[in-house]
Structure 1
Amino acid sequence: MQIELQRLDRRALRVAIGTALCLAISFALALPIPVVAPVFAVFLLATQNRPLSFKASLVVALVVALTTSTGLLLVPVLRYYPAAGVLLIGLALFLAFRYGLRGGNSLVATFLVAGLTMITAAGTADFQLAATVVGALVKGLLLAVTMSGLTHWLLPEPLSARPEPAVRIVPGDQASRIALRAALVVMPAWLLAMSDPGGYMPIIMKSVSLGRQSCGTTARGAARELLGTTLLGGLLAIVFWFSLRFFVHLWMLFLWMLLFGLLIGRKLYGISPTRYSPGFWLNSFVTMIILLGQSVQDNAAGKDVYKAFAVRMALFVGVALYACLMLQIFERRWTRPRTSALSRR
């Protein structure tokens, strides 16, 4: 029991330290979208208990090349043949989510979805902006992978630790249905972002998180999981922001993120048991990072932080409610024929 707690403590520490380092370094280096690295670090450290192998690193490099090149190639299609472009993006999102559900690497699937939506949304407005987003994604992913390796080196997994459980493979028909549902969750936010990519980029990241979350959520728990994580993430971002205002400094940003990461990590790994699933805490943490990072950028740009946060939070809640609606529609559509067939018997 003591060994198990030590193992979980190390994992919580890795998530907290890796995320805090990524956030602080992103702002220190003035990366274009500083929340990309910490968000990818959370997904990477929470889903992988070992550092990436050489083979996995090559796969990530190939995915980066594929995503960036495909995203840039689809920009002219969206500009001159918008209907065909939207259908191609929808198909690509469906295939990316289905790849993750059929046993593929969930981090790779998440990067594919985020990359395709963010690059194409930016490219329809300005090709230079798309190149900036490409740079932000590549730098963010490289930073997240580097910090993951560093934290695993500082806090290695005990030799007695059990191997990771095999990835659950969803049956073909069910995987297609869930992947279609997840793609429809992401699409409206992506379409909205094409009107103002700079302002709505956080909405895309939130919708990608919701699409990923919807793959493991049922309609019955949709409101608690999707809407609950959005509201809790917003509340955590507010508490973080006012805590940071006591002493505004990059080191304090790192230390506060370390503290919040430790508190959420304890719940994520069941060290401090709650009735909510690990996915609930993971997605709440991601939502907090997105909202907080954007508020810090708004403050640096001289914008009204509170007004921008209120508008962004309202959009986040709207996207979450839409995701809940999609889950309800698909659940009813799927269960109705089976119920009718059983009643005929």
Structure 2
Amino acid sequence: MSLTTAPAASSTDDALASEPQRPRRVPAIGKSFAMFRNGKSLTGLAILGVFVVIAVFAPLIAPYDPLEKDFTALRQGPSAAHWLGTTHMGEDVFSQVVYGTRGVLVVGFLAGIIATFVAVLVGVAAGYWSGWKSESLSALTNVFLVIPGLPLIIIVASQYEDPPLILVAGVLAITGWAWGARVLRAQTMSLRNRDFVQAAKANGEKLWRIIAVEMLPNLTAIIASSFVGTVTAAVLGLTTLAFIGVIPITNLNWGTILFWAQQNGAFPDYWWWYVPAGLCIALLGMALSLINFGIDEYVNPRLRSAGERARAMRKKGLAMDGGVTEVRVGQGSAP
């Protein structure tokens, strides 16, 4: 009787088997940023990143001081010396747009941070608690929902000769946190009865740990969407206030550029004076909207599954606009 020996494992297999397995952290990290994987979010983040770079390095990018006057070049169109032309006082429009980016982003992000913090604090507390505490916070949210933001900002700003940007951002945040708190309250009410929250309560976990560890990670996408929406509203509110003349000209931003263009008859002949600032407002709004669309797709399971299915079909070369589904008939079936 012959004995058959099993083939020996190769040295490569032995080396792979003996090598310790490293924990795969990349998928876990990628899952945390899954809301920014699609093309819409990436495009929005890229545009927003360009504006952030311009705001941070404005002194290096702008060729002139934004208020430097050149009386030999009044209302001149774009040229090699002035890329976006000049104003009625010979001020370089490109430099004003670059420096104005800083004020817009500071007010927008500061208002978004303050409003999001208040929305999380009030919304999660109102959703987690029950009884009179929840109803009181819900009534407070409803009151701030109906407060007219623009008239309130005009009244507050008119009390100061030169209102600081933090004051403008604070008023914009006060009038913009209620919508996010409303959504967070509803989502928190659905989470407080989940098994993992009830298990944490049964284990005697403290309230702050239940909210911070068990609930907030499940609300990350909604919080991010609320933040982006508040920043968008704050940017539009700031430029509107500047355009109607509520904010002084010393607070240089895109709205003040449009204000001076309108006051000095730039419409419609001197297009280089008002078109760049208007395009920047539109581009920033589009970038924030694209980021918000990506977050919405991540939050909504139907949108997420539809987006994943569409991307999978595009990779296979299949069209998504076909309205007729081909039905294959077997050989034994009737024609």
TM-score, length of structure 1 as denominator length: 0.30
Which structure: larger Rg?
A: 2
TM-score (norm 2): 0.31
Q: Which has the higher helix share?
A: 1
